[in-house]
Every structure is written in C-alpha cells, then in structure tokens.
Amino acid sequence: MYQQPELLIAGAPRQTAEFAENIVVNPATGVELARLPIASQADIDAAVAAADKAFLPWSETAPARRSRILRDAAILMRERLDDMAHALTLENGKTLTEAKGEIGFTADVFDWFADEARRAYGRVIPSAVGTRMIALKEPVGPIAAMSPWNFPAVTAAKKVAAALAAGCTVVLKPAEETPATPLAIARCLIDAGLPAGAINVIFGRPAEISERLMASPEIAKVSFTGSTNVGRELARLAAPGLKRLTMELGGHAPVIVMDDVDLETALDLSVAGKFRNAGQVCTSATRFFVHHRVYDAFVSGFADRAMKIKVGDGLDPSSQMGPLSNRRRPPALERLVEDAVSCGAKVAAGGKRIESQGFFFEPTVLADVPPNARVMQEEPFGPLAAIVPFRELDDAISAANDIPFGLAAYALTESSRTARRIVRGLKTGVVGINTFAASAAETPFGGVKDSGYGVEGGSEGLDSYLVTKFVHEN
C-alpha cells in the first residue's frame, strides 16, 4: 500500500485544498501512486511558525533527552524497515535491496547524531587570574532543509538528525517525486516523542516554497541538496537575510584506473559503483580514465558486465537495476549518447531506452570519448559510463579536474605512493581509493567548486547547526 501524502505541521497532518495531478508516479510502471498536496502560502507560514514556536523549548531540552528521542526514532525505522523500503521503491524505483540499505543507513545517521547531541562541546580558554573566557556552542535556530529524490531518506536524515541533535527545529521540504519516505521518517520522530513543531514537512511548488522560506526572518539556516543551478538561486535568495547555507550540489565523479590493479576486482568495483541506483547518485562514478596498458581489457570487461545486468521493477527480487526516477531522464541520456557518438565515441554497451511503460534505460558504456563530448562536462545522472585512455598520471589528474564540479573522485591502484599522489592532485571534497563508498554516518561529506560548500555527516555535520558565543567574565 502507498499512503496518500499529507503535509505535516505542528505534529499533525494537514489537508490542503489544492493537489498536483500525476506527480507521484511509480517509475517502473508509469502508474500514478498519489496526488501530491500543494502547500499554500498560509501552510508554509504555519510550518515556519510551528518551528519557531518549538525552537526555544527544544533548544532547552537536555541533550540526553534529545539523544534518547533520536535513538528511539532510529529503532522505529529499523522496525518499520520493510514498509518504508517498499514505499521508497514504489516512488523512487531503486531495487528493494538498495531501498532497505538506504533505510538502514538512515537509522545509522540518527544513531550517530543521537551520540553527537551529547558532544556539542565548547571550551574554556586560558586567561588571566580573576577572569574567565569561555566559548559556548548554541543552536542556530529554526532551519529549512531541502532534500532530493534520488536518496530521499539519507539526504533528509543528514540534515534533520544533525539539526535536531544541535537543538534546532526543522521545516523539511523533500522532493515532490518522493514524499512518502521523508514523511515516514518524520512519523518515526514524532512517535519517538519529538515535540510538536520540531519537525514539519511541506510539499508544493518548489520555487514558491523556497522563496517563502528564504524570505522568512525566523529561518536561520538552509541546507540544500540538489542541482548547482538551483543552489545558485537559493544563495541569491539567502543573501538579503544573510542566512547560513550548506550546499551539496552536482557532481561528475572521475575514476583513475592504474595498470597495477587486479583487473577483475577493479571491474567488479567499477560496475557496482557506476550502476547503483541506476547511476542516479551525486557521487556516481562517471568518467573513467584508464591506463592505456589495461584500457582495452577494462572496456571489454566493463561492457560485458553491463550487458548482463538485469534491469526491471525494483520490487522484483531478480532485478539488479531499477528504472530512472522520472520521465525526463531517458531522453536526456539519449541526447548525451547521440552527442558523444557524433564526436567520435563508440557505444560498447547499451545506449538507448528500454521500451516499456516505465522509465528504463540500458546500462550504457561509451569508449574513446573525446573531451569535447557533452558527457565529459555534464553530469549524466543515469546508468552511463564514459571511458577514455591515458598514458601519464598527471594527464589523468588534469583531465579529472578539468570540470566545474568537485564532489567525489576515485582511484584504483595497488600503490600507496600513487594513491597519495592522486589524493593530493584531485580537487574534490571526497576521494575513494579502491572503494566507491563515499559516505558514512560518521564521516563528513561535501564538495568544492560548483559542487557546493559546507559538509554534512560526521562530527563536522553538527557544527553547521551551531553558533559560537564567546563569554568573557571579569
């Protein structure tokens, strides 16, 4: 069953007079799942007012109590994992195995910040006799969190859990394509004892909600995950009020494959890293720079594995890759393939949409992709890998950096010296060496350049929801 989504304001569901039509769709079938409620300006203002009213009592709640609520919410998420994962697959399309993994990761994030709630330390600064100097950490205030559709649970969790742990309250605006998953997280928090108004969830017209939240003097900070273009617009809207911002924006991750790798292991890692969630991952491996000595074998092995991936409905246990999450993505990928081929690239596997009622696209491998092909500069956000050879490592590092984005990057090598050289050379916020795992609950995550600024996750993730107050006693 897929529940009709509702707004959640001041601890209670709220009906709206206006609904969007055909917006919540099962991407595997194209069938409508639900009508999405559209928040009016009054609804948006009510959510902000609820967060503002709840802020003082929640910020003054003992850290141990905040910790217990976050921990109990994580327990409820694990108890409800099957239902939450089923809804996630229905609205997002990813396989049920991936959906369960995401809900488990989400619970881990809440567990981590349950501990961090107790560790918002200040410090005592050495001073002259008769004086005392102290740096205190205090919650910044009500925050607005905006999360995307590709990981609707984890991206929302990193914002919500950190904010609540710090003592902030939240107005959450999730992606309109995937409303059920963040609502389920909010219900876990409320059932765990979170006070009314500490978490509010609204949907609607993104531009209208963003403008209203950015103009609200009660909102002290905004955390956004999404496209670079939208991030720039939000930064512009935030400027008049000098709101704090955390921006996790687009990526286009390079992979440098050295000739000292075990080829079979490198291929297994690369294919899994590329086609997870049908490539709809901001840290997805996309541009593969492969040493010329192993290039032909790498392309052949990559294409062979890609063609064997079973694509289908995420609810089918035999499916290894689900559909793209919305109808815009298949034609966009087709255009990137056509452009690359016109520039001289070769299609080693896939390259076209799969005819069905859903939004499916073949796992695609492009070889010998020239630098002027659009796919070398534009994030495909789909199951498309572009592979090119290199001879000198400096050339590979230079090509990897030669884009505006700097979120994640990877390298496969058996040499620790080479790995250190690559880590120093890559201009990204995250680097994986012999792994494509770019994020964990206890680690910081964020990008540089056009991929944004600020980090989420880890102990660093709490800091952006805190302000430092200096106290000098004489």
Q: What residues act catalytically?
A: 248, 282
CB of 163 closer than 8 Å to CB of 169: yes
User: Which helix (H) or strand (E) covers residue 430, if one does?
Assistant: strand 430-433
| Closest residue by Cα to residue 439 from 460, 463, 413 | 460
Give residue 238's Cα distance to chain centre: 21
Beta-sheet strands, E only, within 96-239 = 123-125, 132-139, 143-146, 170-173, 199-201, 221-225
Under DSSP, is residue 256 helix (H, G, I), strand (E, B) or coil? strand
What's the CA gap between 207 and 227, in Å, rounded?
13
Task: Return the exposure string of 160-180: e unless at least 16 CB atoms fall within 10 Å of the residue's CB, then b.
Answer: bbbbbbbbbbbbbbbbbbbbb
| Closest residue by Cα to residue 14 from 42, 43, 36 | 43
355 exposure class (CB count in 10 Å sphere: 0-12, 13-18, 19+): exposed
Report the sign of the C-alpha dihedral through residues 390, 304, 90, 76, in that order.
negative
What's the CA gap between 209 and 455, in Å, rounded?
24
Q: Which residues are CB-neighbours of 39 under 8 A, at least 6 positions away?
A: 7, 16, 47, 202, 203, 204, 209
Under DSSP, is residue 143 helix (H, G, I), strand (E, B) or coil? strand
Cβ count near 445 (within 10 Å)? 23
CB of 253 closer than 8 Å to CB of 283: yes
What's the CA gap between 233 and 206, in Å, rounded?
12
β-strands 360-361, 285-291: how paired?
unpaired
Question: Which token pair is 171?
Answer: 């107005």
Beta-sheet strands, E only, within 26-179 = 32-37, 123-125, 132-139, 143-146, 170-173
